[in-house]
Structure 1
Amino acid sequence: MSSASPLLVATDLDGTIVRSDRTISARTVAAFERIEKAGAQFVLVTGRPPRLMGPIAEAFGHRGTAICSNGALSYDMHTEEVVAEHGIAVPTLTEVAALLRAAVPGIGLAVEYAKELAGDARYEAGDWDSDTTVIRPDDAVLFGRPAPKLVGRHPELTADELVELAHPAVGHLVTVYHSNGERLVEAVAQGVSKAFALAELAARHGVAASETVAFGDMPNDLPMMAWAGTSYGMANAHPAVLSDVDHVIGGHDEDGVAAVIEELFPQD
């Protein structure tokens, strides 16, 4: 990366620019306005599905495109519509569900669509879904259409432990990861990741990886940060992130990303 300001800024949301109280500070919003004023672009790259993007879109004035569901969905924040989708195909989804249930006894499975959440009888909704009605169809319906993201929650095992069990069982069929959801493992289609979707977006706009910077805090951010020319990990990040990024910056509750953007895009 040269000393010139980047042409594209990519950032994770939760644990990166979204604070512990689930808000985005006025300083952060103002920092991202600097990017657009400089003629560069920013993209929000998150594990969240579009149904949880309303407050984020509002905070940023319904501008730009967000990469959601860990790269499986692209979401226009102005129209609030999905503009691209890379789902897990039905035969693969059915096979992965069976293998996960065998490898991780007691796991509950759900499919996270753009606007709804459907789960089996064992699936326990998390804090993010407290206002969401979980649809409870039978397996034929639950796994009967392509899934942007498959999630599994266990009553006891941690997210790291779930990935350790799930990856050997289904990693040849889907991309397995976690984004720090409590006792939650996640999967998207094979080859799909934050890096995959970000590279697609950058190519459409003629931006190279070397002209991109990326911010994140969780292992699912690592492919995106490895692709970008310069990577920044939050002080509150997962140990795997802290050991792998180019720079460690202030935490999400300290507006660490905003502080870096203010340096990258100084005002006259």
Structure 2
Amino acid sequence: MSTRDRLPRLVATDLDGTLLRSDGTVSARTRAALRAVEDAGVEVVFVTARPPRWLDVLADCVGGHGRVVCLGGAAVWDLASGSAHEIGGFADDALRGIVADLRDAVPDVALGLERHDGPSFDPWFPRDEPGLDPAVRAVPVEETLADAGTDRRRPSPVGKLLAVRPGTRPATRPGDVHGGTSDDAAQEEFFATVRSVVGRRAHLAYSGAAGLAELLAPGVTKDAALARWCTRLGIDAAEVWAFGDMPNDLPMLRWAGRGHAVADAHPDLLAGADVVVGAGDDDGVAAALEAALRGR
């Protein structure tokens, strides 16, 4: 077997649409494959757009350490301690102008702010998330931003700014990334407007939710956060396998020594990946890891 086909030192995998099945669960086969590669000395890191509050149910899938690059690269989270190794994103001052400009450009836009320690949403934000404190939807998000020059403690950075196109139906669970309408033309028009408004102040990281523009601070990406974490561990890009399904995963797949797209991935990933594996519902990540273990 060639060096390229041997077990990597680190496996980095997206969650929704990649490792997880369409119902948001992790199969027994996938859990077993992850345990087996970790037992073989491979570091497993989840890399996801999810915020920390959507990660606890996955803690038993990544060994004892539970490290997750989350919020699209804005944080590296430790599930065992419930704390962050890294935190990045927008400062509140930088967001004020972006929020105001989005309000002007898209009347009735619904906005949300995701910080590592919790969210805030417009009262009309279309999300039905069980167990969410009603206080996080009490006021428009700009009213939760700290005023420049105040003496009170500055809040943690906003990892992600969410902008929802008016008329989009709510997601009902963390894994519901395919909610919303299916009007691709309206969605692309919305995304184009958002890109024009924010310019270089933010970048759009599309993870698959219809009608949802996920905005990250300049320089905040999955691949950049993963690269920093690998440097910390002394692992080169050539020693990393990455798995994904959506355009926000493509830079990570290109950075890694071997990039894998699941079979039902976005066309950009299918074209740009080194290898195509089975879909999430077919345990494609697990199958690839099992084959590498057999070939040791």
TM-score w.r.t. the length of structure 1 is 0.91
Q: For residue 6 of structure 1, report the CA deviation from its aligned partner.
A: 0.9
User: For the residues of structure 1 that align with 2:36 and 2:61, how far apart are their CA atoms?
Assistant: 15
Counterparts in 2 of 1:48 and 1:139: CA distance versus 1, 3 Å: closer
CA deviation after TM superposition for structure 1 residue 48, in Å: 0.4
Farther off after superposition, 107-116 or 253-262: 107-116
SS across alignment from 1:42: strand
* Displacement of 1:261: 0.7
- Residue 79 of structure 2 is matched in structure 1 by 77
Amino-acid identity (%): 37
Equivalent residue number for residue 24 of structure 1: 26
Q: 1:252: how far off?
A: 0.4
Q: In the alignment, is the contact (CA less than 8 A) between 2:35 and 2:61 conserved in 1? A: no
Q: Which residues of 2 match residues 87-126 of structure 1 at below 5 A?
A: 87-125=89-127
Ranges in structure 1 where 5+ consecutive residues have no aligned partner: none
The corresponding residue for 1:133 is 133
Q: Which residue of 1 aligns with 2:159?
A: 148
Distance 1:207 1:224 in 2: 15
Q: What letter is aligned with 1:15?
A: G
Q: TM-score, normalised by structure 2?
A: 0.83
Contact conserved, 2:277 with 2:285, CA < 8 A, in 1? yes
Q: Which residue in the other structure is 2:152 paired with?
A: none
Larger Rg: 2
CA distance in 1, matches of 2:284, 2:24: 15
Unaligned runs of 5+ in 2: 147-154, 169-183
1:163–1:177 contact (8 Å) kept in structure 2 = no
- What amino acid sits opposite 2:244 in the alignment? G
Show the counterpart of 1:252. Answer: 280
CA RMSD of aligned residues (A): 2.0
Superposed structure 1 runs of 4+ greater than 3 Å apart: 58-63, 138-141, 156-162
Distance verdict in 2 for CA 1:77–1:94, change over 3 Å: same
Q: What pairs up with 1:151-190 in 2 under 5 angstroms?
A: 151-156=162-167, 160-190=188-218
The 3 A distance-change label for structure 1 pair 22 and 138 is closer
Amino acid at match of 1:86: G
Q: For each residue in 1:53-84, what CA deviation from the matched residue of structure 2 results, as whole angstroms up to 9, or x when unmatched?
A: 01111344553310110000111121122221
Distance 1:208 1:65 in 2: 18
Q: Provide the secondary structure at the position in 2 that maps to 1:152.
A: strand
Counterpart-to-counterpart distance in 2, 1:176 and 1:54: 26
Deviation at 1:116, TM superposition (A): 2.4
User: Aligned residue for 2:66?
Assistant: 64
Change (3 A) 1:175 1:10: same
Deviations for 1:168-212, whole angstroms, at most 9, x for unmatched residues? 221401121221123211112110100010000000111111111
Aligned length: 266
Q: SS at 2:200's partner residue?
A: coil
**In structure 2, how many angstroms separate the alpha carbons of the residues matched to 1:12 and 1:123?**
25
